[in-house]
Amino acid sequence: MKILKKLLLLFLIIFIGAQFFGPEKNLGDLSSVEPFFSDTNPSKEVEAILKESCLDCHSDVTRYPWYNKITPINYWLADHVADGKKHFDMSAWDGYSIKKKDHKFEELIEMVEQKEMPLESYTFTHKEANLTDAQIAAVVDWGKKVRLKYSLGPRPQ
């Protein structure tokens, strides 16, 4: 019993101490996504879907939930954001080549159609990010138009 109490106390001390540490936050400006929107020209509906369900992990602009104040949850969330941005970053869109942009949209259509995005671990706590069939159709339709534009645009780049 004594040893259990000591272990518990040790754990508590480590947990409290850990609260002084946390990852850097991803709190950029919404204007960083403007070049993406003007390049891909989504309807107001699709733009709203992207802002609600995708931006948190795929841009410089993350809206953090209250539990991001808790270490180690904040590290776990930061990891997701970093991973999401590494694969597809709407705030870095201008730096992508046409070929890369087109490929990202190929993935985007596939992922949204197959309901792989937004991530399940995200919709679990963000119910409002779940997409309806009509929303999925709107995103896919937009994605196809964007790909058509890239296929007609100047190449190669």
What is the binding site for ligand HEC (CB under 6 A)?
53-54, 56-58, 80, 83-84, 87-88, 104, 107-108, 111-112, 117-119, 122
**Of 68 and 84, CB closest to ligand HEC:** 84
Instruction: Kindly state the smallest distance separating residue 18's Cβ from ligand HEC, in Å.
Output: 23
**Of 71 and 96, CB closest to ligand HEC:** 96
Instruction: Kindly state the smallest distance separating residue 112's Cβ from ligand HEC, in Å.
Output: 5
**Of 6 and 25, CB closest to ligand HEC:** 25
Picking from 81, 69, 80, the residue whose alpha carbon sits closest to that of residue 28 is: 81
Instruction: Kindly state the smallest distance separating residue 145's Cβ from ligand HEC, in Å.
Output: 15
- Sign for the CA dihedral angle at 28, 32, 34, 37 comes to negative
What is the spatial distance between Cα 59 and Cα 30, in angstroms, rounded to a whole number? Answer: 9
CA-to-CA separations, 123 to 63, 86, 103, in angstroms, rounded: 14, 20, 25
**Of 20 and 83, CB closest to ligand HEC:** 83
